[in-house]
Amino acid sequence: MANHAKYDLILDALEKLLTGRNLQTISVSEIAQTAGIGKGSIYYYFPSKEAIFEALVERNYEKPLETAKKLAGQIQISPFTRMAMIFQACRSSSSAFLDRQQSPLQANPQENSLLHQKYMNHLITEVKPALTEIIRQGIQAGEIHFDYPAALAEIVLIVLTVKLDNSLVPSPVEDIEETLLGLISLLEKGTGNPVGSLNFLTTYTQTPS
Amino acid sequence: MANHAKYDLILDALEKLLTGRNLQTISVSEIAQTAGIGKGSIYYYFPSKEAIFEALVERNYEKPLETAKKLAGQIQISPFTRMAMIFQACRSSSSAFLDRQQSPLQANPQENSLLHQKYMNHLITEVKPALTEIIRQGIQAGEIHFDYPAALAEIVLIVLTVKLDNSLVPSPVEDIEETLLGLISLLEKGTGNPVGSLNFLTTYTQTPS
DNA sequence: TCACCTTTTCGACCGTTGGTCAACACTCAG
DNA sequence: CTGAGTGTTGACCAACGGTCGAAAAGGTGA
């Protein structure tokens, strides 16, 4: 009922315009021009400028979220493996989008904050249930020792999202790595898992060079 | 050299205007009118509208940050007590400001996201060094067992800021409490501290009724 | 007091923006 | 053919952030 061709056309135009540019400097007229349609049509498909951004966020996370939900039910796979798969799916779909904005020596990395924050919110809200379920299964299977599965899921998601985005709280690369190592260590010790069992979280930082 | 009387007058006006209102709907002219000065004067003291917001954030955190820095050196006080004091200072100064915006049944709590995010960034960046130092002293004193003091400081700050603000990733109260309990449990188990030693973190949620 | 200079204050003004709207084009069931 | 419904459009509007020249306010030396 939704996705007309133009709907995605508008989103494509915005995505294209977003390359190396500040969110605030993109006008609705410009989006319309890039999409090759009239400005009025934009407001036929979207109620406001902000709604376009939100729709773009949702479209980008559509696939990894499906993956996460499916994975939550696949109890024959080890919980750790499933977690790794979810993180990988989220990472690959978000990096394609977010990395583009960390253009070389951008004056103020916080400028596109609104978009980044929408990503963070969307991802945490949507992935949390699946991740919680997986952790809960891991607890029942005796692989994870912890009393608050939902809290654990949220903590991991929050820290990973904030640190890996690196736009909400910008910091040098070595800080990101240290925080990640610390998180892994904290999780391993806190959930009674052997050292190294959560190392898949660090693959997060390795961008395919 | 800075703080002229008008400088703070402008910030006061913005603060007043911010009560129960969306950030985006406040115009520079309105700030000027509320402050009782001409619009041109605003731009004599601030280079842009955004700069006013940033200045307001900084002004609000001035005192707790001083507190944190002083506390970091007071090695005669127990690390846990010092941490509790820092959190209390941050909480009291930010709640006065942020709570005001969670007006009853606000349609979209994410609307003032930009301001909240500035708060988060400022707080994490500025408090982290002091908290790291305190943790490091706690490690040396044998009270905390963990290898990554800076990471630990950042993880705690990130989770607390995100969850207690409740505007970046809005969620019901019981979720906040569970996440906090989970964080405490994770920290206690992960740093080798006895159950209950970090309970001061939960006083965070108790608003003085 | 005056002249002179700097700092501060101001609101009219400007270009641009997000959003509206009446009109128009096209389709297709009756 | 008709006309209701679905898209599509760019001119238009109020409002915005920001600029600017002028003028008021304040200080200094004589």
Considering CB atoms only, which of A117, A150, A185 is closest to B178?
A150
Q: What is the pLDDT of residue A183?
A: 96
- In order of A14, A28, A168, the CA distances from A51 in angstroms are 12, 12, 21
Instruction: Check whether residue A26 has its CB closer than 7 Å to nucleic acid strand C.
Output: yes
Instruction: Check whether residue B40 has its CB closer than 7 Å to nucleic acid strand C.
Output: yes
Contact yes or no for A158 and B158 at CB 8 A: yes
- Are A31 and A52 contacting, i.e. CB atoms less than 8 angstroms apart? yes
Mean confidence (pLDDT) of chain A:
87
Q: What is the pLDDT of residue B108?
A: 56
Pairwise pLDDT comparison (A63 vs A31), residue with the higher score = A31
Contact yes or no for A147 and B183 at CB 8 A: no
Q: What is the pLDDT of residue A45?
A: 97
Residues A99 and A33 in one domain: no
Calculate the CA A102 to chain-centre distance. Answer: 15
- In order of A8, A15, B42, the CA distances from A96 in angstroms are 18, 11, 40
Instruction: Compute chain B's Rg from CA coordinates.
Output: 19
* Residue A113 touches partner B, C-beta closer than 8 Å: yes
A162 neighbourhood in chain B, CB within 8 Å: 158, 162
Residues A99 and A131 in one domain: yes
Instruction: Compute chain A's Rg from CA coordinates.
Output: 19
Residues B23 and B107 in one domain: no
Considering CB atoms only, which of A146, A171, A182 is closest to B152?
A182
Domain CATH for B49: 1.10.10.60
**Using one digit for the tens of pLDDT, what is the confidence trace for A149-171?**
999 999 999 999 999 888 888 89
Pairwise pLDDT comparison (A105 vs B89), residue with the higher score = B89
Contact yes or no for B113 and A110 at CB 8 A: no
* Residue B177 touches partner A, C-beta closer than 8 Å: no
Residues B50 and B66 in one domain: no
* Residue B199 touches partner A, C-beta closer than 8 Å: no
Please choose, from the candidates B173, B22, B164, the residue with its C-alpha nearest in 3D space to the C-alpha of residue B106: B22
Contact yes or no for A155 and B179 at CB 8 A: yes
Residues B110 and B198 in one domain: yes
Residue A144's domain comprises 60-205
Using C1' positions and the CA of B47, the closest nucleotide is D18
Residues B178 and B198 in one domain: yes
Q: For each of chain B's 209 residues, which pLDDT tens digit applies?
A: 445 789 999 999 999 999 878 888 999 999 999 999 999 999 999 999 999 999 999 998 888 889 899 999 899 999 999 999 998 888 887 766 666 555 444 445 566 778 888 889 999 999 999 999 999 999 999 999 999 999 999 999 999 999 988 888 889 999 999 999 999 999 999 999 888 888 888 765 554 43
Residues A32 and A66 in one domain: no
Residues B85 and B183 in one domain: yes
* Residue A147 touches partner B, C-beta closer than 8 Å: yes
A159 neighbourhood in chain B, CB within 8 Å: 155, 158-159
Residues B84 and B137 in one domain: yes
Please choose, from the candidates B144, B123, B124, the residue with its C-alpha nearest in 3D space to the C-alpha of residue B135: B144
Residues B64 and B118 in one domain: yes
- Strand C, nucleotides < 7 Å from a protein CB: these are 8-12, 16-22
C-alpha atoms less than 13 angstroms from C-alpha of B161 in its C-beta half-sphere: 25
Residues B160 and B191 in one domain: yes
Residues B22 and B44 in one domain: yes
Question: What mean pLDDT comes out for the span A83-95?
Answer: 84
Residue A125 has pLDDT above 90, yes or no: yes
* Residue B181 touches partner A, C-beta closer than 8 Å: yes
Which range among A65-69, A142-146, B24-28, B195-199 shows the weakest confidence by mean pLDDT? B195-199
* Residue A121 touches partner B, C-beta closer than 8 Å: yes
Considering its fold, how many domains does chain A have in total?
2
